Amino acid sequence: MKKLACSYRIKRFYQTGTKNRYMKLFLLSFSLVLCLSSCWSQRDISSLSIVIGTALDATDNPEELSLTAQVVKPTEIGSNSGGESSSGGGQAYVNITQSANSMLPSVRAMTHSQSRKLYFAHNEILIFSDELAKTNILDPMDPFTRDYETRMDVQMMISRGKAAEILDQNNELEKLPALYISGMIKNQKYNSETVIVTLRDFLIATLSESAAPIAPIIEIFEEDDGNKLLRLDGTAVFQDGKMIGELDQKETKGLLFVLNQSSAGVNTLETPAGQVVLETLSTKTKLVPVLAEDGNIRMKVQIKENVILQSNETREDMTTLENIKMLEELLAETTRASIDAAVKKAHLLSADIFKFGEAIYIKYPKIWKEMKDQWDVKFSEVGVDVEIDTHVHASGGLTKPILPGGYS
Amino acid sequence: MKLERDSISPNQFMFSIICFMHAIVLRSGFIISITRQDSWIMSITGFIFSLLPLGVYVALMKNYPNKNLIEINQAVFGKIVGNLISLFYLFFFLSLAALNTHDLGHFVLSYMLPETPVAIIVLFFLGACFYSLKKGVKNIMHLSTLIAFVTLIAMIINSVLIAKDTHFEFIFPLLQLEPEKYVQGTVSIGAVVMGEVLVFTMLTPMLKNGKKVGKSLFFGMLISTFSSVVVMIRNILTLGPLVTVVTLPTFESIRNVSLADIFTRLESIYAILLVILFVVRVSILIYVSVLAMTQIFSKESPIVPELAYENSPREKKKHQNQPPFLLLTTALTFFYSLIVFESPIENSHWGATVAPFFSLTFELLLPAITLVAAIFRKIVSKKKEVNA
Amino acid sequence: MRFISQIIHVIKKKQEKEIETEERAVDTHKNPNILSKSLSRNIQSVQSVLVNSADLVLREFSFGKHQDTEIKAALFFIDGMVNMQMINDGIIKPLMHDSQSSHKKGVSDIASLEEVKEKLLVSGEAKAVQTFNDIALGCISGNAILLAEGFDKGLEISVKGWQQRAVTEPTSETSVRGPREGFTENIRTNTSMIRRKIKDPSLKIKASTIGKRTQTLVNLIYIEGLANPDLVHEVESRMSQIDIDAVLATSYLEPYIEDAPVSVFPTIWFSEKPDAVAGKLLEGRVAIAVDGAPFVMSMPMLFIENFQSAEDYIKRSPYSTAMRILRLIAFMISVFMPALYIALSTYQQELIPTTLLFTMAASSEGVPFPVVVEMALMMMIFEILQEAGIRMPRPVGQTISIVGALVMGEAAVRAGLVGAPVVIVIAITAVSSFAVPFAADAVSLTRWFLLIMASVMGTYGITLGGFILLVHLVSIRSFGSPYLAPLAPFQNAGIKDSFVRVPLDDMTKRPQSLKPQDVVRQASPPSK
């Protein structure tokens, strides 16, 4: 317990000794530093332009690109606690466009015309016009990845036509087009007909030795009555940082099957008796490279698909064993057709969108080393065997279709 | 500050080693650029490699119980030669402190305060270190248990939350690179990450039970290795080929956590933990430097038990003079850290190429020489006894 | 019971004897101070010592016989401090009435005051006094002094009895299912309440007097064989070094004996509840009671005690655990919230969820001050409101809080002077700080420190500030116990009663950090 007494004495010693002067001096200098150093990196929220969507377009000058940033007007967003109540009905966003020879210079060039600094940390979508994508997509992407303000989980897409126009497409439900688009993208997992690609996914595919990056395509679609709508339609395929082709919706579906990303979706089957709709519950895909005796590699795609009967538009009971079997076979056929279409298109473009190369690398690293240099050519020669195992799980709440007159 | 020979338990010792190691474990990006998806294996081999220097330290401790590195040097080589060799250690400790301060300064600069001068960031950082050392290194040791627990739990939570975004194929195929790269990776991890446990041989006299030093060192390193493996695997599984491109894989990996729009931006937790771990780490390094400095330059042993306050006013006066020594070292670290590298780029290049050899000189070569000399001395003295 | 009361008696006797012998040793060479045999001279002397005391009462009478003459006597006491009935029935009546007809008792001739004390007085406590100082002291502490012609001694008769507060339910800590009684201003009532809780002869109560002018009775309470003797010794030695002129409340002693007087965190624990103090004593702590103050302090105090309440041990353990964690969260919120808000809204906006950022941006639109200034202003106004509300009489206090809430909250936001989020943050912070009442003072200062750190360096500043705070807490020692135990240094047994509270039958050991003599609290429960 001597120690106890001594800690007490130390305390007394610290209180009375010259230590106090040291302490005061230290505190004084520290507080001076505090005063001097305040507000280097400080920025009030009200001094920021919060960017939530970015679009990149090619310009007439091949050396330049134009950047459009969607900036939020916070007072117009539905909060009723704002200083003055907003008049309502005003646009909640401003699109700012600036051209320069690269991305960062255009962001900085905006300071010439704007009162607030652009702030990209909450950027949700990144749209490239197809025109730009066909010439060079990697150069503007680099600053987006390198800077810490931006995040790698932004949704990436390619627009048909001007990307800036996509960002200006108003919607009844959402006040901000960018949030509308990012919500739309998140919604795609219910149909499995569009790829969902973040900047990170795109970069990982770009860095891969074999795989070809992909991105969804967005376009403005004009309805018959002149109403303009946004629509996700198909997939853009890249090679060497350039967009080299597109997959349509059916091919995209096949692609998602092979990539094991097809999570849900509907399959409309034409049976002899009429139309039946099956909903996918889950699919599981396995890529198995097989080394044939002649030294060639074939790719075995094993798919297991679980569906439920969602809509029976025939007058027949589809829950009989024979009919179930018939449905399963029909489903396998449609799936095979979409995969075949995708494979055909991929072979045509000679772009490994399916990540076959990586599967081979994992299983046959030595063979891969020999073939990776001519993978562009060799990919088209890889034969694809599709094995599909479909399974109808349940028939929903009804066993038999609803017939007028009933089953008396 | 009190240079106290106050006792801490072997567990606290172990946890402070874990804290010390984790600061670097969470930052180890440089190794991934060498061995890519196999880097996690390098953690294990690096640990096995580092058992070699560890063996040397434990052997030294056994021969000279309750003495730290500097005191052992003085005992083996005598005052003058021993102190000369100890000067090398002092340089090593100071360099490590400066390097780590530099690292942290640039981390904060790029992720948290992009427009603030790095000197101010470092000043505040060292201010925190200075304060905690003024209060006594023992307190940091006590805190380390808490910090280590929080770190480990945060690491596990982050890993669980990110499980959704992992792709197992990224880790395959195993061991496809040139063998010399693996050797380089092993030595790098062993020397730069694990070998820095050398610092703790300066603190062993603080232990109540000197016999358990080896055990604490070993388990501290083992747990650090384990979490380093977990972190690396997680980074590889989430980032894939990106892992070799980004500056801070762990940071980028945690950045991807996105669960239900609520568990997002967890990198802030990582950043906070990293700062705290670095304060602990640099504080220990500065303490060790001060200890080495006082032991080399003062005539009598500067470590006095706390009891000294009680009866001798002379001791009091001496302790009043301690703060300037601490202040001196902190100031030295401050300026050293500002000039040590011109940029983080230079730093990471150095980390991947020169650092292992730089570290190994101090971590293996010098202690080994000391050990050989100690054994030789023993044999000679025994022979003398026999002759007499 | 009898046994205990006997022991108490013995202890008291012993103490009295000690005091007596001491005084005698001191007073032999101070002759003018000593009583003479002449009553009139003695009365004059007493009156001159206690001159200008309007409340001093002198009652002269005569009683009994000594060598066939009636003895003239005088009784001094202070009006208002004595029980008049006790004086009438216990002193004057037996002396004047009984002594006349006391031949049977064998008190025909009174030779010494000892005889009066032994055979005539009907009073619980009486002792002989020899000096005028003692007489004055006895008078002012509420005793009656009996002087008689022909004796150079006086009798100090305990007739204390003044108006005092009854035992009521404490206002600072209320209990739902626990005991309701609280300490009063009377130290004897207080110690008796503790003693009634712990019927153990090894419960020791050591008395001393502190305060040159107030002469306040201070009692050191501990359980022998349980509290570490070194701890008791250390507390005693620190108390013995106190040189203060007045002790008006328990906290007067605090700065003299605590370890970290400049820290914002308390290292000595106070309570108004006897059951809470008894609990502390039974853990191996030491308590100090001060006469005239309804608070008893206990030490060493650990940080964790800020989050414990006596009620926790009465409620079921899962609920108590949840409450303690809630209190920790409330503590964290009240310390870090304003700082965090500043850091996020001026440095790390990327950490704010997107939609929340829109709302915050909308409310900061058109606000004239930077958010740091806004926050500092609102915090200051809150502290002022709180202070004003506490110090004012209750009806006025309510008005203040209504005006404050309306003007500061609603109107300021409406007028666009401050943003609504800032007001919300301040409100949440304030409410949270009341969930940890004991640490509330510490919290409000810490909050400012972190606010400054955050406004200078954002989350980095908060991190460093938080670390400094943590190091500060770890470095504090309260009477040899590390303040942050059992968290740092980590201790297994202590953790059972920290932010978790296991069922009582699982708490088999007392907290290690207090280094109690008897570690084992109870046998481990039969295997469940």
Residue B78 zone, left/alpha/beta (φ > 0; ψ -120 to 50; rest): left
Residue C219's pLDDT is 92
Distance, CA of C425 to CA of C42 (rounded, Å): 71
* Structure tokens belonging to residue A113: 């015309």
Within 10 Å of residue C171's Cβ, how many Cβ atoms?
Answer: 9
The owner of tokens 């912070």 is C429
Query: What is the H or E stretch that residue C2 is in?
Result: helix C2-27
Where is average pLDDT lowest: A271-275, B198-202, C380-384, C456-460?
A271-275
Distance, CA of B173 to CA of B171 (rounded, Å): 6
Residue C95's pLDDT is 79
pLDDT at A3 over 60: no
Residue C322's pLDDT is 92
Segment B313-335 shows an average pLDDT of 63
* Structure tokens belonging to residue B311: 């009866």
Instruction: Tell me which chain A residues have a C-beta less than 8 angstroms from the C-beta of C477.
Output: 4, 7
Tell me which residue of A25, A78, A70, A67 sits closest to A51, measured CA to CA.
A70
* Structure tokens belonging to residue A119: 């702030």
Measured on CA atoms in the order C375, C380, C381, C387, is the torsion positive or negative?
positive
Within 10 Å of residue B164's Cβ, how many Cβ atoms?
Answer: 11
* Structure tokens belonging to residue C88: 């009438």
Crossing angle, helix C317-346 and helix C371-391, to 10 degrees?
140
Angle in degrees, CA C18, C19, C20, rounded to 5: 90
Residue A54's Cα: distance from chain center in Å?
14
Instruction: Tell me which chain A residues have a C-beta less than 8 angstroms from the C-beta of B239.
Output: 200, 204
Strand partners of residue A51: A71
pLDDT at A319 over 90: no
Write down the H helix ranges in A17-74: 19-37
Q: Give CA separation, C161 vs C78, C87, C142, C186, C249, in Å.
A: 11, 10, 7, 11, 21
Which CATH class for the A248-403 domain? alpha beta
Segment A21-30 shows an average pLDDT of 67
Segment A85-103 shows an average pLDDT of 74
Task: Sort C77 into a burial class: Cβ within 10 Å, 0-12 / 13-18 / 19+.
Answer: buried
Share of residues in chain A with pLDDT > 70 (%): 87
Beta-carbon contacts of residue C92 (< 8 Å; ≥ 6 apart)? C59, C61, C75
Nearest chain C CA: its distance from B113 CA (Å): 7
Residue B65's pLDDT is 78
Distance, CA of A372 to CA of B364 (rounded, Å): 43
Beta-carbon contacts of residue C48 (< 8 Å; ≥ 6 apart)? none
Instruction: Tell me which chain A residues have a C-beta less than 8 angstroms from the C-beta of B258.
Output: 153
Query: What is the H or E stretch that residue A158 is in?
Result: strand A155-159
Residue B319's pLDDT is 44
Residue A38's pLDDT is 55
* Number of cross-chain residue pairs from A and C with Cβ atoms under 8 Å apart: 106
Share of residues in chain B with pLDDT > 90 (%): 6
Q: Give CA separation, B132 vs A197, B135, C477, in Å.
A: 47, 5, 15
Residue A287's pLDDT is 84
Distance, CA of B229 to CA of B234 (rounded, Å): 8
Give residue C443's identity as a one-letter amino acid code. Answer: V
Mean pLDDT of chain A: 79
Instruction: Tell me which chain A residues have a C-beta less than 8 angstroms from the C-beta of B110.
Output: 148
Confidence of residue A40 (pLDDT cuts 50, 70, 90): low
Greater pLDDT, C406 or A196 = A196
Residue C70's pLDDT is 79
Instruction: Out of B123, B169, B258, name the one closest to residue A33 (CB).
Output: B123
Share of residues in chain B with pLDDT > 70 (%): 88
Task: List the domain boundaries for chain C.
Answer: 17-158, 187-313, 317-475
**CATH code assigned to B10-387:** 1.20.1740.10
B111 and A148 within 8 Å at the Cβ level: the answer is: yes
Q: Do residues A289 and A297 touch, judged by C-beta distance below 8 A?
A: yes
Instruction: Tell me which chain C residues have a C-beta less than 8 angstroms from the C-beta of B257.
Output: none
pLDDT tens, position by position, A328-375: 888 888 888 888 888 888 888 888 888 888 888 888 888 888 887 888
pLDDT at B265 over 80: no
Q: C187: number of CA atoms within 13 Å, CB side? A: 21
In chain A, whose CA is at the least distance from the CA of B127?
Answer: A30
Q: Do residues A276 and A309 touch, judged by C-beta distance below 8 A?
A: yes
pLDDT tens, position by position, B99-141: 889 888 888 888 888 888 888 889 889 999 988 888 878 888 8
A207 and B240 within 8 Å at the Cβ level: the answer is: yes
Tell me which residue of A271, A238, A2, A14 sits closest to A128, measured CA to CA.
A238
Tell me which residue of C343, C302, C319 sits closest to C485, measured CA to CA.
C302
Query: What is the H or E stretch that residue A306 is in?
Result: strand A297-312
Residue B145 zone, left/alpha/beta (φ > 0; ψ -120 to 50; rest): alpha
Q: Do residues B25 and B193 touch, judged by C-beta distance below 8 A?
A: yes
Measured on CA atoms in the order C343, C347, C349, C350, is the torsion positive or negative?
negative
Measured on CA atoms in the order B296, B299, B304, B310, is the torsion positive or negative?
negative
A37 and C456 within 8 Å at the Cβ level: the answer is: yes
- A244-278 in b/e burial notation, b at 16+ Cβ within 10 A? ebbbeebbbbbbbbbbeebeebebebebebeebeb
C459 and B268 within 8 Å at the Cβ level: the answer is: yes
Q: Give CA separation, B233 vs A161, B29, B50, B172, B239, in Å.
A: 42, 13, 21, 11, 10
- Gyration radius of chain C's alpha carbons: 30
Task: List the domain boundaries for chain B.
Answer: 10-387
Q: Do residues A270 and A382 touch, judged by C-beta distance below 8 A?
A: no
Compute the CA torsion angle C223, C229, C232, C234 (nearest 10 deg): -170
Residue C122's pLDDT is 77
Q: What are phi and psi of A119, to 5 degrees?
A: -125, 115
Residue C48's Cα: distance from chain center in Å?
36
Give residue C441's identity as a one-letter amino acid code. Answer: D
- B85-121 in b/e burial notation, b at 16+ Cβ within 10 A? bbbebbebbbbbbbbbbbbbbbbbbbbbbeebebebb
Residue A291's pLDDT is 82
Number of helices followed by number of strands (H, E) in chain B: 17, 0
Q: What are phi and psi of A247, to 5 degrees?
A: -110, 145
Task: Sort C145 into a burial class: Cβ within 10 Å, 0-12 / 13-18 / 19+.
Answer: buried
C480 and A79 within 8 Å at the Cβ level: the answer is: no
Residue A234's pLDDT is 86
Query: What is the H or E stretch that residue C230 is in?
Result: helix C229-240
Positions of CATH 3.30.300.210 in chain A: 248-403
Instruction: Tell me which chain C residues have a C-beta less than 8 angstroms from the C-beta of A122.
Output: 349-350, 354, 357
Query: What is the H or E stretch that residue A277 is in?
Result: strand A274-291
Nearest chain C CA: its distance from A46 CA (Å): 6
Q: Kindly give the parts of chain C with pLDDT less than 50.
A: 25-30, 104
* Structure tokens belonging to residue B238: 């989430």
Give residue B86's identity as a one-letter amino acid code. Answer: S
* Structure tokens belonging to residue C186: 């009377």
Distance, CA of B232 to CA of B245 (rounded, Å): 14
Q: What are phi and psi of C520, to 5 degrees?
A: -80, 125
Tell me which residue of C488, C458, C453 sits closest to B128, measured CA to CA.
C453
Q: Give CA separation, C346 vs A191, C454, C505, in Å.
A: 41, 9, 51
Residue B313's pLDDT is 34
Distance, CA of C13 to CA of C127 (rounded, Å): 11
In chain C, whose CA is at the least distance from the CA of A6?
Answer: C480
* Structure tokens belonging to residue C506: 């699982």
Instruction: Out of A34, A44, A81, name the one closest to residue C371 (CB).
Output: A44
pLDDT tens, position by position, B269-295: 888 999 999 999 999 999 888 888 888
Neighbours of chain C (3+ CB pairs under 8 A): A, B
pLDDT at A30 over 80: no
Tell me which residue of C272, C264, C263, C240 sits closest to C253, measured CA to CA.
C240
Q: Do residues B128 and B279 touch, judged by C-beta distance below 8 A?
A: yes
B307 and A6 within 8 Å at the Cβ level: the answer is: yes
Confidence of residue B73 (pLDDT cuts 50, 70, 90): confident
The owner of tokens 């007392």 is C510
